[in-house]
Structure 1
Amino acid sequence: MNMKTFAKKIGMLAAVSALAVSTACSSGGSESEEAATTDTEAAGKQEQVAFTDIGGEIKGNEKPTPEQIAEVNDTLNDTYLGDIFEQKIPSNYAAYPFPGDVTLDVWMPANPDVPDMNTQVVQDQVEKLTGIKVNFITPPVGQEADSFTLMISSGELPDIIIDPGRYPGGLEAGVNDGAYIDLTEQMEKNAPNYSEWRNSDEMRRKTTVTDDGRLLGFYGIAPYSEWMWFGMLIKQEALDKTGLEVPTTVDEWHAFLTKAKEVGYSEPLNYGSSYGQLFTGIINGAYGVWDWTFLDADGKVQWGPAQPKAKEYLTTMQQWNKEGLLNRDWATADFNQRMATAISDKTAVMMDSPDTMWSYWKQQNGFDFVGAPNPVLNEGDQPQVSYKNFMRAGTNAAITTQADNVEAAMAFLDFSYTKKGWELLNYGEYGKVHLIDADGKPYYPAESYIYEDPDGQPVATTLHKYRMHNWPDIRDEHNSNPLIVAEGSYSGDIRKTWTEEMDASMTMPPITFTQAEASREAELGNQLSTLRNEYFAKIIMGELPVDAYDKFLAEAQKMGLDEFLSLHQAALDRYNQR
């Protein structure tokens, strides 16, 4: 269905009434405001939220009673939670429990560990605390793209869509086409916690608003910029067997991989990133041949595959592939194939997340490992990375123009940005999953279901089962990711070191395109990506000579590379003016 036709079909959303907005008081210190009336079934004023301080009973309590557990899990009382970040997390609970009998339909991509979100235990608690029922629509794993396309083309939309950027042209295009609601005028009134949190830091504010000042959805926004999460990881036994130090330059990496092959690792480097992609920003970054767009020294947008040293990079990788230093299925292997190879005696080095490999290597198979900085060409150069977290984390959500109760949808999403929502979504259920330390900070005790799952599932699974790892919320990755904070885990140390010691100044910020730009950028981007993948893969595999790169670059120019870059530069210029 043509999107303009679709927008016309669904028409203009009827005017919605105001949600009651009395200011909540988590510790008895805030003054209430006059509540507004609603047109819901239970029209009237919301009661002022005030709690008895139970911090003395909960903080540092390692053996809470059933009554104490119920007080934490079944009420909105958050007086036991400390303020552990630079900015305080909001505690406005005036909208809860939401009046009336409301059920929201929420479309969300499937998670292999929780294929049906309607059984997710954290979401059950959110429903009880907010008074808003939710029906999750979760397509089968691997069918998310087809499910989304079918949903949009049918014109039958749920109330909320998680990961709305799947819309052709992105979130902003979805609003402009009439699929999603522009929430700008309603955000402060109906989402006071999200509004307060996003405005409490300039980076959070800047990365959650469009170039023209509109608020189109709810973003996962963290208290900090999360650490770099992907890089070179080496089995400690491979270092021991080769007798070599952690390599830093490309030449040292070649020497190490060659020696690793000599001592028995038949495919020493498991090469790849998001499983099947040949670009990783790791080895190619040493040559300045970044995966996609990046900022040059003058702050201008450039395209990584078109940089001067691309042929040097391709020559190196073609040689390494010919010498058998890479896994043979690097161009096609999915996650499960890569993990199976990782724990075999074929692999010495993984390009992956230390969180993931702490689970697969260390916890499940007893392999110690170390992190290595991204390679450089010359000894003494600072490693570089084209990744930076701009306090944007998790995922995002949009409310559709077919939502029956916009206020309820906003209240449901806004709960994630309260102090109670931060605790529950990041740390799961009190008692079984987490406890509270003497400073009011949640933590996982040794007997937590995260580590001691009754069903015997590993932490890599329980982090999705008992908490929300990806959700539009205040994502507290550094403190709540069990793969980082587990006793003995050093994945967080690796990620922190990578972040602090590598230069990320070339990273593109989260820019947005206008409706006119979005479709053209997507068209050009898809063509350029397909062209790059085809040429680079064939060159590395030796099916084309390195000089075929010249033809690749000429074809990229004919396709409209300059126009593609101009679109990104215009979007960057607008972002810088936000």
Structure 2
Amino acid sequence: MAKFTKRLFGVLMVSVLIVSTAACSSGNDAGEAVSQEKEVAKERNNITFADISQDIRGNKAPTQAQSDEINHTLNDTYLEDMFEETIPNDYSAYPYKTDATLNIWMPANPNIPDMNKQVVQKQVEKLTGIKVNFITPPVGQEADAFTLMISSGELPDIIINPERYPGGLEAGLNDGAYLDLTDLMETNAPNYSAWRNSDETRRKTTVTDSGKLLGFYGIAPYSEWTWFGTLIKKEALEKTGLEVPTTIEEWHAFLKKSKEVGFAEPLNYGSSYGQVFTGIINGAYGVWDWTFLDGNGQVAWGPAQPKAKEYLTTMQQWNKEGLLNRDWATADFNQRMASAISDKTAVMMDSPDTMWSYWKQQNDIDFVGALNPVLNKGDKSATTYKNFKRTGTTAAITTQCKDVEAAMAWLDFNYSKKGWEILNYGEYGTVHLIDENGKPYFPEDSYIYKDPDGQPVATTLLKYRMHSWPAIRDEHNSNPLIVAKGSYSGDIRKEWTESMDTSMAMPPITFTQEEASREAELGNQLSTLRGEYFAKIIMGELPVDAYDKFLTAAKKMGLDEFLNIHQAALDRYNQR
């Protein structure tokens, strides 16, 4: 233990933490009678369940007994297989017989005051028979808390977001913090193993370059739709009389006209929490935010691309003309949303799910989506975002775990059919129901939409379900902002995804321990340099020609080494 603590303390001092059963509906009386008279048994890994599909599917007013059957047992016979690959349902480990309580460290979420009281997690605890205790540091203190926890040498059983470890998961393994689960997965995590192996992309993105399985990853049934882009108030289109712009030139004309008709700061360009240089406007010039794949499939760095000066010239001009929000470099989330709903903003660069809540639901502001702009009419719009079926968060089991089998069983439940249902859709009855085809859905009177405490959907989607977790996330069907009655945020995201080129998107590569430390050092230096120069040029504090000094400084700083590290990692990823 002393060796472990000493090595970790040394790493932490020189490394940068890497952040981030009743009646059915009428009309099927004959079928219901047959169902009530004769139960059909289904075998679930030595557990026999009565088939309750007839009683649950299409039932809009379940009895308490029916709700208890769904919420308090592992019976999943009423659920249909919705995806190309079947979600596994091995429940042989439950209820798990142990007296141990697993301690789980995770970053806090301001919308979940006490994770130990989160209703879905309490339900998982009952269904699995595994007791857990969540340890969450105060919001904003996650990095310091993680550092102190690791350097103390006193580890919990499970860590959520274990990539925070300096050097990533493999560094944590090499330093004796995380367990190698490779030889344990098939036996102790049958659902996770079956799900990740059912698709080549899921398999490839959940294994290290050396073939190790070090954690449980959030993995989806599909590549999720692009979540971020440009959104325009319909009112702005009506007042300007213009169509949705497609080229940079058309965008310039639209923003100027929007300002003329009363939108004082028409483009909400960014904020202090990261949505600056969004890959939307700069992407039109090929000046992507960070790393991307060039036409030859090699790693390149967006800020160093040939048209960077053209992009900066455009943004400096737009800023000078007052087309951007004046506080784009400093605004926090609340300031940004306040600006969004005001009369001065015409365009947001954000998630249509978020803006569905803030614009349409809360303020009755209709909007449309626009593809990322291009330089020339007819060019294909592009984005560096691609999901690769990896989503949600990751969990690792530490070397100090009291009961490794229990920890794996607890995590493995999330990748079962029952786990998929309750983590994505919450409690049966109050939060979701099952339609005639065996698909979960949120009725209009769901707690998601009509919270007894009066909280908005942006909060209830975390209060009554798990939005980002080591699990199978069914974003397209279970995000209540997407599937809300009348919502078109999913339509926008789908259109973006299907209409934009993603060939330049970087897959989720990983670095060796030696690479990770250097990559983090160089990455932070380059990011700071890019942020300072680009922001000052756009704000007019530096001339566009200052970009030449920026590029020279980036190269002296080690840009080529940075790219070589990423290229080596990409080459290994391609060989997995």
- State the TM bucket, normalised to the shorter chain: over 0.9
Residue 28 (1) aligns with residue 26 (2): no
Q: Secondary structure at the match of 1:520?
A: helix
How far the C-alpha of 1:171 sits from its partner, in A, is 1.8
Q: Which residue of 2 aligns with 1:484?
A: 482
User: How far, CA to CA, are the matches of 2:466 and 2:380 in structure 1?
Assistant: 36
1:420 and 2:434 correspond: no
Question: What residue is the counterpart of 1:467 in the other structure?
Answer: 465
Q: Partners in 1 of 2:364 and 2:400 — Cα distance?
A: 51
> 1:447 aligns to what SS in structure 2?
coil
Contact 2:42–2:77 (8 Å) recurs in 1? no
Contact preservation (8 Å) 2:181, 2:215? yes
Q: Which secondary structure state, in structure 2, belongs to the residue aligned with residue 297 of structure 1?
A: coil
Deviation track 1:246-297 (CA, whole Å, cap 9, x = no partner) reads: 0000011111111111111111100127734421010000000001000001
One-letter code aligned to 2:42: G
Mean CA deviation greater in 291-300 or 275-284: 275-284
1:6 is displaced (CA, Å) by: 4.2
Within-5 A mapping of 1:173-572: 173-272=171-270, 275-572=273-570
Question: Any idea what the Cα deviations from partners look like across 1:86-118, whole Å, max 9, x if unmatched?
Answer: 111111001111112121111111111113211
What is the aligned partner in structure 1 of residue 29 from structure 2? Answer: none
Would you say 1:49 and 2:47 are equivalent positions? Answer: yes
Q: How many residues align?
A: 546
Q: Is the 8 A contact 2:271 2:332 kept in 1?
A: no
In structure 1, distance between residues paired with 2:210 and 2:182:
11
List alignment gaps of at least 5 residues for structure 1: 10-25, 33-47
Q: Which amino acid aligns with 1:182?
A: D
Partner amino acid, structure 2, of 1:385: T
Taking a change above 3 Å as real, the CA distance of residues 434 and 461 of structure 1, as seen in their structure-2 partners, is: same
2:18 matched to which residue of 1? Answer: none
Q: TM-score, normalised by structure 1?
A: 0.93
User: Secondary structure of the residue that 2:420 maps to in structure 1?
Assistant: helix
**Shift in Å at residue 301 of structure 1?**
0.4
TM-fit CA distance, 1:152: 1.3
Whole-angstrom distance in 2 between the partners of 1:276 and 1:188: 39
* 1:282-328 residue CA offsets vs partner (Å, 9 max, x unmatched): 00000000010000010000000000000000000011111111111
In 1: Cα distance, 2:274 partner to 2:316 partner: 17
Distance 2:274 2:466 in 1: 27
TM-score, structure 2 as length reference: 0.93
SS in structure 1 of the partner of residue 50 of structure 2: coil
What SS does structure 2 have at the residue aligned with 1:128?
Answer: helix
1:15 maps to: none
Q: Deviations over 1:410-452 (max 9, x none)?
A: 1000000000000000000000000001111100011100011
Q: Is the 8 A contact 2:167 2:514 kept in 1?
A: no
**Equivalent position SS for 1:556:** helix
Report the equivalent of 1:65: 63
Q: Deviations over 1:1-39 (max 9, x none)?
A: 998644699xxxxxxxxxxxxxxxx96346x5xxxxxxx
Shift of 1:142: 1.5
Change (3 A) 1:569 1:322: same
Question: Matched residue of 1:232: which SS?
Answer: strand
Q: Verify the 8 A CA contact 1:7 1:179 in the aligned structure 2.
A: no
CA contact (8 A) 2:271 2:327 kept: no
**Cα distance in 1 for residues equivalent to 2:143 and 2:239:** 45
> 1:18-74 deviations in whole A, cap 9, x for unaligned?
xxxxxxxx96346x5xxxxxxxxxxxxxxx322111111111111111101000000
The CA RMSD measured in Å over matched residues stands at: 1.5
Three-state SS of the structure 2 residue aligned to 1:97 is: coil
**Alignment partners' CA distance in 1, 2:395 and 2:161:** 6
Instruction: Report the CA distance between 1:529 and its aligned residue.
Output: 0.6
Structure 1 469/547 Cα, relative in aligned 2: closer, same or farther at 3 Å? same
Q: Secondary structure at the match of 1:92?
A: coil
SS in 2 for 1:28: strand
Look up the match of 2:144. Answer: 146
User: What amino acid is aligned across from residue 382 of structure 1 in structure 2?
Assistant: K
Structure 1 CA distance for aligned equivalents of residues 337 and 152 of structure 2: 38
Q: 1:3 to 1:553 in 2, by over 3 A?
A: farther
Looking at structure 2, the residues matched to 318 and 386 of structure 1 have their Cα atoms a distance apart, in angstroms, of 23
Letter aligned with residue 52 of structure 1? A
Q: How many angstroms apart in 2 are the aligned matches of 1:576 and 1:540?
A: 37
Given that 1:356 and 1:460 are in contact with CA atoms closer than 8 Å, whether structure 2 keeps it comes out as yes
Match of 1:74 among 67, 72, 78: 72
Does structure 2 retain, via aligned residues, the 8 Å contact 1:115–1:141? no
CA deviations 1:367-402 (Å, max 9, x no partner) are: 000000001000010000000000001111011111
Moved over 6 A (4+): none
